Amino acid sequence: MTEELEGKHGVQSLEIGMSILRAMVDGQRSMMLKDIAAAADMPASKAHRYLVSLIRAGLVDQDSMSSRYDLGSFALNLGLVALDRLDRVRLGLTAIADMRDEINQTTALAVWGDKGPVIVRWERPRRPITVNVITGAVLDLLSSATGRVFAAWMPKKTVAPMIADELKNAKLPPELKSKAAVEALLAEIRAQGFAATNGQHKVPGVEAVAAPVFNFKNEITMAVLVVGVQGMFDSSAESDVVKCLVRHAEALSLRLGASGEPKQPV
C-alpha cells in the first residue's frame, strides 16, 4: 500500500532535495547554509541534512575553506548532457519561422556538414518577389554570408584548406583574393557579430546576411540567415533586418547554453 501511494504522490524527500538544488541554482553563486535554508524556506538543520545526502550523491560540493556550498560535478554533468540532447535544429526552425514573420524576408537555417555549411530549412516570406533557397545546398565559405560566419568561428584547421581552395578556384572580387584580406574580413565579422555579402554573393543580384548560433561550449553550432534580392533590404548593422537576425541568433545561443564570449578559432 505504501509503495502504491508513493507511486501516485511521488517521494516527498526527493522533492525537498530538489527545492534545495533549485535554491542554489537561483542563487547563481556558492552559498552559505543559512542562505540556502532561507531560499528553500526551511530550517537550517533540515537543509543541512539534505545537503549531506546531496554531497554524497555528487550533486553538491562544499568548500572546506569557506564552508560555502555549490553545485557538484554530477549536477554539472546532468546540465551538460541535457543541453547536448536539445534538438538544436528544431529550435532553429522555430527561430527562422519567427524571423520570417517579423521581417517578411526569406530566412534559413544552416549547419556544418562534411563539405561545409549546408542549408537544412528555409522559410518563404509573404511577398511577390522572393529568393528561393535550396534545402541541402552546400555554401561556399567566402562568397556566402553563411559561409563567412562559419569561416569566422570554426576551428582554423577545419576551414583553412577550404579557404585555400576557394582562393585558388572561386570567382572572388579583387579585394578578397589574398589570405591577408580574408583574415581581415573574418576578424571584422567576429567583431560585429554577423556577416553580409555586400554585393559579393556568388549568385548575382542576391544579398544575404547571417549570424552565428553558439552552443554550451561557446562554439558555433548553426547559423541563421536572411536572403533577398539585392537592394530589397538594408544589411547594415543598424537595420531592422540585421537587428532581428542578431537578436534571434543570440536568443537561440542562450537557449542552447552559450554564455560569455564565443570561443575564438585556433
For the chain, domain boundaries: 2-83, 86-255
Same fold, 2-83 and 86-255: no
What phi and psi values does residue 237 have, to the nearest 5 degrees?
-60, -30
Cβ–Cβ under 8 Å, residues 121 and 96:
yes
Cα separation, 202 vs 232, in Å, equals 17
Cα–Cα distances (Å) from 229 to 119, 129, 226, 239, in that order, read 18, 8, 10, 16
Cell 544579398 belongs to 207
Cell of 188: 571584422
pLDDT at residue 85, rounded to an integer: 62
Cβ–Cβ under 8 Å, residues 162 and 138:
no
Do strands 220-229 and 69-71 pair parallel, antiparallel, or not at all (unpaired)?
unpaired
Q: What CATH number does the domain located at 2-83 have? A: 1.10.10.10
pLDDT at residue 199, rounded to an integer: 67
The dihedral of CA 166, 168, 169, 170: what is its sign?
Answer: positive
pLDDT at residue 89, rounded to an integer: 87
- Flag residues of the chain having pLDDT under 70: 1-9, 82-86, 170, 199-203
Secondary-structure percent of the chain, ordered helix, strand, coil, rounded to 5: 50, 15, 35
Nearest to 245 by CA among 218, 262, 224, 214: 224
Length of the chain: 266
Candidate CATH numbers 3.40.50.300, 3.30.450.40, 1.10.1040.10, 3.40.50.1820; the one for domain 86-255: 3.30.450.40
Cα–Cα distances (Å) from 174 to 120, 170, 182, in that order, read 31, 11, 11
Give the single-character DSSP code of 138. B
Nearest to 229 by CA among 105, 102, 96: 105
pLDDT at residue 1, rounded to an integer: 40
pLDDT at residue 86, rounded to an integer: 62
Residue 262: CA count within 13 A, CB half-sphere:
27
